[in-house]
Structure 1
Amino acid sequence: MEKANEIFFSDKGLTSTSASHLADLAQETILGNEAKLKNMSFITTKVDIVGSLSESGKTVSIGYDEERLSEIKGLLEEIAEMNAFCAWMREAIKAKEKEIKQVNNCSFDDWCRLFGYPAVEQPESPKEIRMEDMIAEMNIKERNRYFQLEAVAATIGKSIHPGGTFSNAREELLNKMMKPYSTDGNGKDTLIYSHTSSVKPDKVENLFFELQKWHRQNERELNRIKFSLKREADRLNLEAHQRYKSEVERASLEFRQMFSKYKEWQIQECDRISKLKIVIPDALQATYEKLSKLEE
């Protein structure tokens, strides 16, 4: 346990549940006092109409009298007292949660170092072989062909797919052939546009299907290469994983007894910390007793 956290705990005191409950009661007291102080005013206000009889005005707000004025210091003192109690209890609960979290996050290797046990030599996890790694292993001819196929797929696909320049121009041609005339404006200012194809529509269609066929052929070849690379990468990754798994099993077998001891320590240490009681400082004893009475 951290030295800074030891101050909060001992064998006698409050459980975390009780401390949290009392802190909630303290917070309720704070809210109650703050509500009393919220509309603090030392002014009494009346409203009247011009020309009305003297003393005929209506009182719209009443300021604090001396009795309420005398209560202010006590209310503020109690707020400060309750805030101090809440701060101590919540910091103590936070410290306990932090200690339990540290135990749970303590790795097997950290535990070995903490108690002076020999470090467990864990095998290094194999690096996953990715598509980029497989491409990097290609020879000049293969890699250049792959890059060419990617370039063609990106260039042609971008042009002929919806939103592409060729696709948009083809769609425009089809639309204008269906509606060869269009107008703009009204009355005498109306402009009439006549639309004719600058090339034969069937040639545009032929080129589109030619590009589409080229793109599909290119995609098929590219996908075959990608599938082949992925299959080989998967095979290599599987072999590497199987070797790693075998090495882990051997290492785990060697230190299984020690690992079991480590888990047992985690459980027992978390249980010990969770059962620690929160100390009530002498300065907060009166506050504790006051809040305890509120529970009754």
Structure 2
Amino acid sequence: MEKVNEVFFSEKGLTSTSASHLADLAQETVLGNEAKLKNMSFITTKVDIVGSLSESGKTVSLGYDEKGLSEVKGLLEEIAEMNAFCAWMREAIKAKEREIQQINRCSFDEWCQLFGYPVIEKTELPKEIRAEDLIAEMNVKERNRYFTLEAIAATIGKYIHPGGKFSDAREELLTKTMKPYTADGTGKDTLIYSHTASVSQEKVEEVFFELQKIHRQNERELNRIKFALKRESDRLNLESQQKYKSELDKASLQYKRMFSQYKEWQIKESDRVSKLKIIVPDELQTTYEKLSLLEE
């Protein structure tokens, strides 16, 4: 098995079917939370007709109150949590599929080379080492942390960056606080809309800047990791190029094995890989337990 895929598997854990089902449940949770955040607004709008004796008008839409605002952070955190769980499980499932496909695609000559039986060895250009290859060398905790940082960056950034739901709602609050009335229509049919903040601007700013702080801290850590990966891949690529040059004119014999043994290996290895279980990282255990309850 390739090093890139080993980190996902153990003798104990989840089957691919269970992992896929839990990932689907996690995605449903994400969609549910996103639906709750879809119509985020901090404005309560009322309407009245010009000349009406009503003092308050009719309410046509309600903005988030403090309770609603207080739930935003939790919903975003759960979205990030579920996305991190999905990232791990989906990658693990794909890793197993890649391994089985690789076994089935392995030619007789490749198999001989893998086990050291004689074939003509050709000197080939070294494969470029990418950041993804170094990520593959990470242990469970490191790689899950990387997936989590990416999930948090994408989740929070989606809402607080310009054009995001929180950013737009915040801008709407600032605008309609300055212009609390708008009119639609003409003459006696003119509708007057009054706009009032459903939660204080200070509370909105407090949550907004808290999310910004979390996003900046997350981005800094993620960028530090990416920079370290780039620096290490450059070093390793330089070393491999130097080694390639020294071995360019060398050739050696490889070993080969009987075709029946090769087919037997294919069948047994494919069966072994298919039975491997997907591990649940310690950091995702709580999420796993939460999703497992949804199955009951």
* TM-score, length of structure 2 as denominator length: 0.53
Equivalent residue, structure 1, for 2:278: 278
In 2: Cα distance, 1:269 partner to 1:56 partner: 74
In 2: Cα distance, 1:117 partner to 1:76 partner: 55
Equivalent residue, structure 1, for 2:15: 15
In 2: Cα distance, 1:55 partner to 1:67 partner: 27
SS in 2 for 1:264: helix
In 2: Cα distance, 1:44 partner to 1:75 partner: 22
Contact 2:112–2:118 (CA<8 Å) still a contact in 1?
yes
Q: Is 1:29 paired with 2:35?
A: no
SS in 2 for 1:90: helix
Q: Give a deviation string over 1:163-214, Cα, whole Å, max 9, x none.
A: xxxxxxxxxxxxxxxxxxxxxxxxxxxxxxxxxxxxxxxxxxxxxxxxxxxx
Give the % identical residues. 83
1:55-74 map, 5 Å: 55-74=55-74
Query: How big is the alpha-carbon RMSD for the aligned residues of Structure 1 and Structure 2?
Result: 1.6
SS in 1 for 2:46: strand
In 1: Cα distance, 2:13 partner to 2:55 partner: 62
Equivalent residue, structure 2, for 1:268: 268
Q: Give the aligned residue type for 2:285.
A: Q
Higher relative contact order (CA 8 A, sep 6+): 2
Q: Give a deviation string over 1:137-156, Cα, whole Å, max 9, x none.
A: xxxxxxxxxxxxxxxxxxxx
Q: Is 1:117 paired with 2:154?
A: no
In 2: Cα distance, 1:77 partner to 1:113 partner: 48
In 2: Cα distance, 1:56 partner to 1:33 partner: 33
In 2: Cα distance, 1:262 partner to 1:79 partner: 46
- 1:57: how far off? 1.5
Q: Give the aligned residue type for 1:65.
A: D
Q: Give a deviation string over 1:30-88, Cα, whole Å, max 9, x none.
A: 11111011001000001111121142511111001111111111111110000000000
In 1: Cα distance, 2:282 partner to 2:43 partner: 41
Contact 2:46–2:58 (CA<8 Å) still a contact in 1?
yes
Q: Is 1:41 paired with 2:41?
A: yes
1:1-296 map, 5 Å: 1-119=1-119, 258-296=258-296
Give 5+ residue unaligned stretches, structure 1: 121-254
In 2: Cα distance, 1:52 partner to 1:6 partner: 72
In 1: Cα distance, 2:34 partner to 2:119 partner: 57
Equivalent residue, structure 1, for 2:130: none
Q: Which has the larger Rg?
A: 1
Q: Give the aligned residue type for 2:290.
A: K
In 2: Cα distance, 1:83 partner to 1:118 partner: 47
Give 5+ residue unaligned stretches, structure 2: 121-255
Q: Give the aligned residue type for 1:33.
A: N
SS in 2 for 1:59: strand
In 2: Cα distance, 1:9 partner to 1:56 partner: 63
In 2: Cα distance, 1:12 partner to 1:267 partner: 22
Q: Give the aligned residue type for 1:263.
A: K
SS in 2 for 1:262: helix
Contact 2:48–2:54 (CA<8 Å) still a contact in 1?
no
